Amino acid sequence: TPRIFSGIQPSGGLTLGNYLGALKRFAALQGNESETIYCIVDLHAITVWQDPDVLRQRIREGAAAFMASGVDPRQSILFNQSQVSAHAEMAWLFNTVARVGWMYRMTQFKDKAGKNSENASLGLLAYPALMAADILTYQATAVPVGEDQKQHLELTRDIAAKFNHDYKIEHFPITEPLIEGVATRVMSLRDGSKKMSKSDPSDASRINLTDDADAIAQKIRKARTDADPLPGNVEGLKDRPEARNLVNIYAALADETPDAVLARFEGQGFGVFKPALAEVAVEALSPITRKMSEFMDDPAEIDRILGHGAERADELATPILERTKEIMGLLRSR
Ligand code: TYM
C-alpha cells in the first residue's frame, strides 16, 4: 500500500488555496488502499519569528482545519511535528547529505529571505532538508501538495537519491509528488498572476477558512476580472488568468471539470457567474468553518488527538531513523 505524507505550516490563517490544493485532497486520499500521515509542521513555522502563545493556538487551529476538512484521526495519523523527535534528528542527517547550493536555489527561500538573506535564520535556509526528513522518516511514497511545493519535493528526491548513491543502498524511496486537479495553484482574487497566500497584505486577495458567508460573497463580488462573457470551454480562457482562476475555483469546489462549468455558463458575464460562485463557495466552506470552531471549543481534545497521533507516528519513524543512522555508521550501544 502506498504511504502518503503531507504537512501544513501553522503560520497564520489558512486560505481557500490551502483547502483546495491540499486539505480537501488529504481527506479524499484516506481509505483502505493507502496509509495517510498528516502533520502540522510547527518546526517549519519557527524558521520565521512566531509569538509562542499565538503559535500554540495556531497548531491547534491547524489540527481543527484538518479534521473539519474530513481528515479522520482514526483513519489517518494526525500530529504536530515537534512531538516526534525523529523529524529533527533525520533533518540533521540530511543537512550532511544536501549541498548548500541546493538550498540557495530554492525560490521559496529567496522569496521569504528577501534582499537581506544574510539575516534570515539558518533554519529558513535548511527548511527543505527538514521537509525531506518529514517525508523520508516514514519512507513515504507519495506527497499531495499544491504546485508551489514542487521544487521542495524535487529536492527531497535529490536527497533520497544522493543518500542511496553515497551509501550504496536502496534505503529511501524516490517520492512521487501528487500535484493533481484544477486547483493546484489557486491565484489571488486581486491579481491573477500571484498565488493566493496567507501572507498577502491585502485580505481581499484571499478567502480565509474563517471568513463568514458575507465576507466570502463580498470578496468574490470584488474579485478582479475582465469584462468579456465566459467562453464555452477552457481554451477560451487562455490569456484570461483572473477568469480562469474563478472558473477553476468553481470547478474544484463543485467537483466538476472546468469544461462542465463553462458549458453551463457559456455567454454569461461575471454579473451572473460571481453570485453563483459565491453560493458554491459558501455552501462548501461554511460547514468547514463551523466544524473548525466546534473543534476549537475543546482544545484539550485536540491536544489529546495530536498526542495520540504523535505516538503512532513515532512508532513508524523510530525504526527507520535508527536504520538510517546504522547505515551511516553512527554507533549505537544502548
Ligand atoms: P504551506 O503551509 O505553505 O501550504 C500547505 C499546503 O497548501 C498548498 N497551497 C496551495 N495550493 C493551491 N493554491 C494555493 N494558492 C496554495 N497555497 C498553499 C501548499 O502547496 C501545501 O500543499 N513546506 C510546506 C509544508 C511542509 C510539507 C512537508 C508538505 C512541510 N513538510 C512535507 C508536504 C510534505 C508548506 O510550507 O506548505
Answer whether 22 contacts ligand 1 (Cβ < 6 A).
Answer: yes
Q: Report the chain's mean pLDDT, rounded to a whole number.
A: 97
For the chain, the domain total comes to 2
Instruction: Give yes or no for a contact between 312 and 76, defined as CB atoms under 8 angstroms apart.
Output: no
Coil/strand/helix, residue 136: helix
Tell me whether residue 197 is in a domain.
no
Average pLDDT of span 70-88:
98
Average pLDDT of span 303-316:
98
Q: How far apart are CA 247 and CA 265, in angstroms?
A: 10
Residue among 243, 240, 253 at smallest CA distance from 286: 253
153 and 274: one domain?
A: no
Q: Of residues 162, 198, 291, 325, which has the active-site annotation?
A: 198
Evaluate if pTM is beyond 0.90. Answer: yes
ipTM for this model: 0.99
- What are the CA-CA distances from residue 40 to residues 63, 172, 264, 296 (Å)? 7, 23, 39, 15
Q: How far apart are CA 113 and CA 78, in angstroms?
A: 30
CATH number at residue 169: 3.40.50.620
156 is in which domain, residue-wise? 3-178+299-327
- What are the CA-CA distances from residue 286 to residues 80, 185, 263, 278, 280 (Å)? 25, 22, 27, 11, 10
35 and 77: one domain?
A: yes
Tell me whether residue 195 is in a domain.
no
Answer whether 129 contacts ligand 1 (Cβ < 6 A).
Answer: no
Tell me whether residue 184 is in a domain.
no
Confidence band (pLDDT; 50, 70, 90) for 1? confident
Tell me whether residue 189 is in a domain.
no
Q: Is 198 known to be catalytic?
A: yes
140 and 236: one domain?
A: no
Tell me whether residue 192 is in a domain.
no
Mutate to test the pocket of ligand 1, among 18, 80, 84 (most ligand atoms within 8 A of CB): 18
Which numbered atom of ligand 1 lies nearest the CA of 145?
Answer: 22
Answer whether 146 contacts ligand 1 (Cβ < 6 A).
Answer: yes
149 and 232: one domain?
A: no
DSSP for 14-54 reads -BHHHIIIIIHHHHHT-STT-EEEEEE-HHHHTTS---HHH
Q: How far apart are CA 256 and CA 27, in angstroms?
A: 17
Answer whether 62 contacts ligand 1 (Cβ < 6 A).
Answer: no
Coil/strand/helix, residue 5: strand
Strand extents, DSSP E, 252-321: none
170 and 253: one domain?
A: no
Which numbered atom of ligand 1 lies nearest the CA of 8?
Answer: 2
Average pLDDT of span 9-20:
94
Which three three-digit cell numbers place residue 92? 540533521
Q: How far apart are CA 64 and CA 44, in angstroms?
A: 19
Average pLDDT of span 134-160:
98
